[in-house]
Amino acid sequence: MDLFLITTKLKNEFPLVQQPIDTHLQTAAILVMLYPKHNKTHVLMTKRALHLNSHAGEISFPGGVFEEEEDENLLETALRETHEEIGVQVEASKVIAQLPTVNTRLGFEITPFVSVLSEAMEFDAEEDEVEEILEIPFTSLLSTQQRDVGFSPDQDMVMYWFKHHRIWGASAKILRKIQHLSVY
């Protein structure tokens, strides 16, 4: 996947929008990080710690809940939470797109942001929140898409696989939105 092409399409299709935040306990933001590694585009995902109260052990993007006293907007939430979870400080200037809000089965309202980095970074998982950091070849991941049989056909849900990890729910919805750009 060509990072220049995906950057251009993401910027055009999903521009960053500053809008008022309708905060409730479950307003959240995540960061999709795309970067080159070994001549392939990779995406960073995490396996959430097994002891967490919500979405324990699931594969997700770095991110978390909006904190009114710390964050001015949802982009700040995504960047702060990414730093806390994986030890990486992504500059706001590297964030190129804001995808449509995704709702989870537990009532979270997630705003996904996409960043394109010029190189792979060193990641350091916060053990209280992250069980494992996954650096996944993006095109290979997208090619594993299949219908998620855990949902009724009329819900049109998909899932993806990376090794033995099942990626489903909100994370799969976010991947599918990027995949619809047909740039891989």
Determine if residue 38 is left, alpha or beta; phi over 0 gives left, psi from -120 to 50 gives alpha, anything else beta: left
Tell me: pLDDT of 184 over 50. Answer: no
Q: Does 95 fall in a domain?
A: yes
DSSP structural state of residue 150: T
Q: Does 60 fall in a domain?
A: yes
Q: Does 174 fall in a domain?
A: no
Burial zone of 170 (CB within 10 Å; 0-12 exposed, 13-18 middle, 19+ buried) = buried
Boundaries of domain holding 92: 3-137
| Number of CB atoms found within 10 A of residue 59's CB | 23
pTM value is 0.86
Between residues 178 and 82, which one has the greater pLDDT? Answer: 82
Between residues 147 and 91, which one has the greater pLDDT? Answer: 91
| Mean pLDDT across 93-97 | 95
Return d(Cα 143, Cα 125) in angstroms, integer: 27
Q: Does 12 fall in a domain?
A: yes
CATH number of residue 14's parent domain: 3.90.79.10
Helix, strand, coil in percent for the chain, rounding step 5 = 25, 30, 45
Return d(Cα 86, Cα 132) in angstroms, integer: 10
Q: By the 8 A CB rule, do 14 and 183 touch?
A: no
Number of domains in the chain: 1
Between residues 130 and 147, which one has the greater pLDDT? Answer: 130
Alpha helices (runs of H) in 30-159, residue ranges in sequence order = 74-86, 138-142
Q: Does 99 fall in a domain?
A: yes
Tell me: pLDDT of 159 over 90. Answer: no
Q: Does 45 fall in a domain?
A: yes
Q: Does 145 fall in a domain?
A: no
Q: Does 147 fall in a domain?
A: no
| Mean pLDDT across 118-122 | 89
Tell me: pLDDT of 182 over 60. Answer: no
